[in-house]
Chain A
Amino acid sequence: QSVLTQPPSTSGTPGQRVTISCSGSSSNIGSRLVNWYQQLPGTAPKLLIYSNNQRPSGVPDRFSGSKSGTSTSLAISGLQSEDEADYYCAAWDDSLNGWVFGGGTRLTVL
């Protein structure tokens, strides 16, 4: 059971906009910055969004992050087949004194 809660799966068609939610508590998302990672099949995770809503260089602006209270979400617009991957949210947890991840959401592009 992960500390951060994500839906296990979601799907969309090319060109569509999808969102992935991630909920936590006051000891993690509620008081800390959130990061999102993309893991393409068979590869290492890659940083997608940091500090709630910042994109690293090279990440398309189709990807965006937002946070409200103890929840956060990742939005992907103009869905493409290469976006098919697992997505993880992560935040520092002040009660556990460690990083916590969501369980991951598998995005399928239909």
Chain B
Amino acid sequence: QVQLVQSGAEVKEPGASVKVSCKASGYTFTSYGVYWVRQAPGQGLEWMGWINAYNANTRYTQKLQGRVTMTTDTSTSTAYMELRSLRSDDTAVYYCARGGKTAAELAFDPWGQGTLVTVSS
């Protein structure tokens, strides 16, 4: 079955970077894209960006432009999301989800289990 499995929880100090992985299985990785979404404690969902797993084209939300980088490793069917210069308000659960070959295409399905990133000194 189609599945996305994410890396484990992280605790980072302010100013540090974090890199979350999302390993896909059950489908042809390069035929789809990957979305990244985050959810702060007790808050709603926030779209962070998208990457085309075939050609590595990306689209990031303006809010995170310059601090976020999304990449893929097609040899292991894994997507990565790196967020730099972490602040306390980056504390959230980070989700990956399968998407389309363009940023606006396809619903988010399925989702990874989520990765809690805590930013604290």
Contact = CB atoms under 8 A, between A and B. Distances in A.
Between A50, A56, A99, the greatest number of chain B beta carbons within 10 A of the residue's beta carbon is seen for A99
A104 B61 contact: no
A90 interface: yes
Q: Is the interface of A mostly helix, strand, loop or mixed?
A: strand
B10 interface: no
B35 interface: yes
Interface stretch (B24-32, B40-48, B67-75): B40-48
Interface string A30-52: 00100101000000111100110
B80 interface: no
B45 A101 contact: yes
A73 B82 CA distance: 35
Given A44-B95, A44-B114, A98-B61, A35 B45 contact: no
A110 interface: no
A92 B104 contact: yes
Interface of B: 35, 37, 44-47, 49, 59, 61-62, 95, 103-104, 107-114
Interface of A: 2, 32, 35, 37, 44-47, 50-51, 56, 88, 90, 92, 96-104
